[in-house]
């Protein structure tokens, strides 16, 4: 219980430090740029400008959250070691796992804030263009939050075991593979070779299936999705997060902080 | 307050590189209420030892034990320790007050407690004018002082400092040394690493000396100085005299009309009698003192 309080304290001050940094202003600036680009792009579209606005908005909040998760996640623990602030914290009655959980929670809150700001901009632009916001759009935004936090945990886990360059490349690899894996298993070259199909399918269990969080197609073209499918994505996110966090907790506990 | 028992730490960074022995069977203890200086040249293993004490890294062999005064559980022990790492860079966008609240709350204080304590402490550390400014606007000395401030905030019984005086100007060093002396007077235990011997000689009552990962000395400062006290006496007389004695081992003109005669302790009284009998006025007489620095760095060992 006490360690949960410590986690909350670390999270609160991590979040506070981040909102006072320039990143938040960059997010706001990005929101303005997206709004302008959307208005310009809509001028060249016939019939469905609000759909273009929605597509651009959802895309930008995904990309910006990938950027923040990777760039912040890579230095989340390493920078604390280099600046020696981690020693100030873990020399107090704070466990390493609480420290890690607090840092992750703090950055995740910032990722949610980023997505919230860009979502509001998107909703505002879509509404201005006469479009409707269905509940599925809100799910797409929620799934962006889940995807970003999962990516953050992947990046932090990699940064605990590898140097900055390797963790950066590894994170990008995991992100791209996690998105491409579903489509890859469907292409003819793979389906005609059973051994390759087995390899690709088994990678589904190793890499986080980021493609599951992408419901833009449903939002833009089908406007409907099974409730159970949404629940399954949330369940998958929870299980994968728990697994990765467990692994990260073991590593940080064993790690020499030198 | 704590003991290092037969600590050995071997680093092996690469398969192709030979293992590096940072600490070799090091054992020493820090008694309660003492101000202990932890001496050694750069790379002697001081920071590694501190990291082992605080469980940031694990020793290859040996163990660290804490006195029950600090507590019985790990959490309790941590609550009673204040640690300041060497040249930390803190959180740039937090203000001094926010940073103090962060560290205080982690040590079990409430925000209200911290806010009540922060101003008197900030005044003591001459930071009251900047306590609500972001830390990125602080100078190096101010960062060191805020680091010291948050180390003392929760009133720890044991204070561990890694090179607390490095990078400070003479005024800053003097101020921090005064505060350290004050903390000691309050009955708290201070253990600090440094490679500046004069700091230890000035404020510590005990010293632990590491030399290339091995313990060279662990004990009080004064007996160590007494042990190395030389048997040479210096007698100062006016330089216009033609005084000569076969017992004078060495003589030197110090300028300003003063000549220094060096004589062995056994001959001191005899030479003084000779000087007085020749009607020469003695300006001064003192036993040659050896500094801790000379003991460590001239002999390499204590």
Name chain A contacts of B11, Cβ cutoff 8 Å.
258
3-state secondary structure B14-30: CCCCCCEEEEEEEEEEE
Residue B294 has pLDDT above 80, yes or no: no
Name the minimum distance, in Å, from the CA of A165 to any CA of chain B: 18
From the CB of residue B209, how many other CB atoms can be counted at a distance below 10 Å? 25
Residue B204 has pLDDT above 70, yes or no: yes
The residue ranking higher by pLDDT, B300 or B133, is: B133
What are the tens digits of pLDDT across the range B213-267?
898 888 888 777 777 767 788 888 888 677 888 888 888 888 888 888 888 888 8
Name chain A contacts of B94, Cβ cutoff 8 Å.
13, 16-17, 20
State which residue of chain B sits closest to A83, comparing Cα positions: B89
Residue B9 has pLDDT above 90, yes or no: yes
Please tell me the distance from the alpha carbon of residue A70 to that of residue A154, in angstroms, as a whole number: 9
Do residue A2 and residue B103 have CB atoms under 8 angstroms apart?
A: no
* Contact yes or no for A64/A114 (Cβ under 8 A): yes
The residue assigned the tokens 């909350």 is: A8
Query: How does residue A5 score in pLDDT terms, banded at 50, 70 and 90?
Result: very high
Least CB–CB distance from A17: residue in B57, B85, B93: B93
Which of B70, B83, B102 to mutate: most A Cβ within 10 Å? B102
* Contact yes or no for B247/B271 (Cβ under 8 A): yes
Residue A251 has pLDDT above 60, yes or no: yes
Residues in chain B: 302
Interfacial residues of B (vs A; Cβ cutoff 8 Å)? 11, 48, 51, 54, 56-58, 74-76, 78-79, 81, 83-94, 98, 102-103, 105-108, 134, 147, 150, 160
DSSP secondary structure letter of residue B161: E
Do residue A92 and residue B103 have CB atoms under 8 angstroms apart?
A: yes
Please tell me the distance from the alpha carbon of residue A141 to that of residue B148, in angstroms, as a whole number: 45
Tokens of B205: 């009552």
Name chain A contacts of B86, Cβ cutoff 8 Å.
84
Least CB–CB distance from B105: residue in A9, A87, A88: A9
Name the minimum distance, in Å, from the CA of A81 to any CA of chain B: 10
Please tell me the distance from the alpha carbon of residue B180 to that of residue A123, in angstroms, as a whole number: 59
Which of B49, B56, B110 to mutate: most A Cβ within 10 Å? B56
* Number of structural domains chain A divides into: 1
Residue B189 backbone dihedrals phi, psi, to 5 degrees: -95, 130
| Exposure string over A209-227, b if 16+ CB within 10 A, otherwise e | bbbbbbbbebbbeeeebee
Residue ranges matching CATH 3.30.70.980 in chain B = 228-299
**pLDDT value at position A223?**
67
Do residue A258 and residue B90 have CB atoms under 8 angstroms apart?
A: no
State which residue of chain B sits closest to A257, comparing Cα positions: B56
Tokens of B118: 């922060």
ipTM: 0.86
- Give the domain extent around A231: 2-254
* Contact yes or no for A94/A4 (Cβ under 8 A): no
Which of A88, A95, A99, A258 to mutate: most B Cβ within 10 Å? A88
CA atoms A244, A250, A252, A255: torsion sign: negative
**A109-113, A115-119, B236-240: which has the minimum mean pLDDT?**
B236-240
Residue A46 has pLDDT above 90, yes or no: no
Name chain B contacts of A6, Cβ cutoff 8 Å.
106
Distances (CA, A) of A120 to A31, A65, A127, B163: 9, 15, 10, 50
Do residue A93 and residue B88 have CB atoms under 8 angstroms apart?
A: no
Query: How does residue B301 score in pLDDT terms, banded at 50, 70 and 90?
Result: low
Name chain B contacts of A2, Cβ cutoff 8 Å.
75
Average pLDDT in the B137-160 region?
A: 91
Query: How does residue B211 score in pLDDT terms, banded at 50, 70 and 90?
Result: confident
Which of B88, B106, B143, B161 to mutate: most A Cβ within 10 Å? B106
Please tell me the distance from the alpha carbon of residue A74 to that of residue A84, in angstroms, as a whole number: 16
Q: Which CATH number does B228-299 carry?
A: 3.30.70.980
Least CB–CB distance from B78: residue in A13, A83, A92: A92
Residue A221 has pLDDT above 80, yes or no: no
**A72-76, A111-115, B247-251: which has the minimum mean pLDDT?**
B247-251
Which of B22, B55, B91 to mutate: most A Cβ within 10 Å? B91
Least CB–CB distance from B91: residue in A6, A9, A85: A85
* Contact yes or no for A231/A56 (Cβ under 8 A): no
State which residue of chain A sits closest to B60, comparing Cα positions: A256
Residue A145 has pLDDT above 60, yes or no: yes
Name the minimum distance, in Å, from the CA of A52 to any CA of chain B: 38
In terms of CATH architecture, what is B2-220? 3-Layer(aba) Sandwich (3.40)
State which residue of chain A sits closest to B59, comparing Cα positions: A256
Q: Let me know the angle formed at the C-alpha of B300 by B299 and B301, rounded to the nearest 5 degrees.
A: 90
Please tell me the distance from the alpha carbon of residue B211 to that of residue B44, in angstroms, as a whole number: 5
Residue B299 has pLDDT above 60, yes or no: no
**pLDDT value at position A165?**
92
What are the tens digits of pLDDT across the range B11-33?
887 777 788 889 999 999 999 98
């Amino acid at each position: 219980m006490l360690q949960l309080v410590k986690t909350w304290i670390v999270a609160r001050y991590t979040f506070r430090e981040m909102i006072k940094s320039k990143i938040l202003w960059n997010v706001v600036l990005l929101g303005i740029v997206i709004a302008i680009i959307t208005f310009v792009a809509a001028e060249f579209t016939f019939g469905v400008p609000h759909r273009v606005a929605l597509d651009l908005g959802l895309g930008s909040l995904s990309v910006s959250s990938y950027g923040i998760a990777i760039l912040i996640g890579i230095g989340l623990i390493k920078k604390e070691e280099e600046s020696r602030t981690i020693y100030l914290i873990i020399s107090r009655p704070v466990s390493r796992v609480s420290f890690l959980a607090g840092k992750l929670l703090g950055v995740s809150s910032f990722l949610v804030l980023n997505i919230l700001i860009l979502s509001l901009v998107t909703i505002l632009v879509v509404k201005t263009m006469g479009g409707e916001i269905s509940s599925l759009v809100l799910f797409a935004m929620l799934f962006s939050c889940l995807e970003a936090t999962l990516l953050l945990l992947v990046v932090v886990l990699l940064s605990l075991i590898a140097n900055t360059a390797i963790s950066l490349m590894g994170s990008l690899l995991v992100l791209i593979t996690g998105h491409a894996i579903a489509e890859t298993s469907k292409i003819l070259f793979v389906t005609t070779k059973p051994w390759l199909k087995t390899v690709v399918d088994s990678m589904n269990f190793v890499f986080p299936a980021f493609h599951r969080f992408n419901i833009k197609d449903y939002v833009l073209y089908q406007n409907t999705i099974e409730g159970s499918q949404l629940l399954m994505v949330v369940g998958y996110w929870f299980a994968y997060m728990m697994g990765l966090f467990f692994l990260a907790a073991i590593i940080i506990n064993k790690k020499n902080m030198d | 307050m704590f003991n290092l028992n037969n600590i050995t730490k071997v680093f092996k960074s690469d398969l192709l590189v030979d293992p590096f022995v940072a600490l070799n069977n090091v054992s020493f203890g820090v008694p309660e209420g003492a101000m202990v200086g932890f001496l050694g040249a750069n790379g002697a293993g001081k920071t590694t030892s501190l990291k082992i004490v605080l469980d940031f890294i694990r020793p290859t062999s040996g163990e660290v034990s804490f006195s029950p005064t600090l507590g019985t559980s790990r959490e309790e022990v941590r609550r009673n320790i204040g640690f300041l790492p060497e040249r930390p860079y803190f959180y740039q966008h937090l203000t001094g007050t926010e940073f103090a609240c962060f560290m205080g709350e982690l040590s079990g204080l409430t925000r209200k407690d911290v806010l009540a304590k922060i101003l008197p402490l900030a005044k003591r550390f001459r930071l009251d004018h900047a306590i609500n400014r972001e830390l990125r606007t602080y100078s190096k000395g101010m960062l060191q002082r805020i680091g010291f401030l948050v180390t003392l905030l929760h009133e720890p019984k044991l204070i561990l400092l890694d090179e607390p005086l490095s990078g400070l100007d003479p005024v800053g060093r003097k101020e921090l040394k005064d505060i350290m002396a004050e903390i000691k007077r309050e009955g708290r235990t201070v253990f600090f690493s440094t490679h500046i011997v004069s700091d230890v000689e000035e404020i510590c009552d005990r010293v632990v000396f590491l030399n290339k990962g091995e313990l060279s000395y662990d004990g009080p400062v004064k007996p160590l100085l007494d042990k190395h006290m030389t048997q040479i006496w210096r007698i100062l007389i006016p330089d216009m005299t033609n005084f000569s004695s076969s017992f004078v081992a060495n003589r030197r003109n110090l300028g300003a009309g003063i000549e220094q005669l060096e004589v062995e302790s056994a001959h001191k009284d005899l030479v003084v009698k000779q000087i007085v009998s020749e009607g020469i006025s003695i300006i001064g007489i003192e036993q040659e003192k050896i500094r801790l620095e000379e003991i460590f760095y001239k002999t390499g060992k204590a």
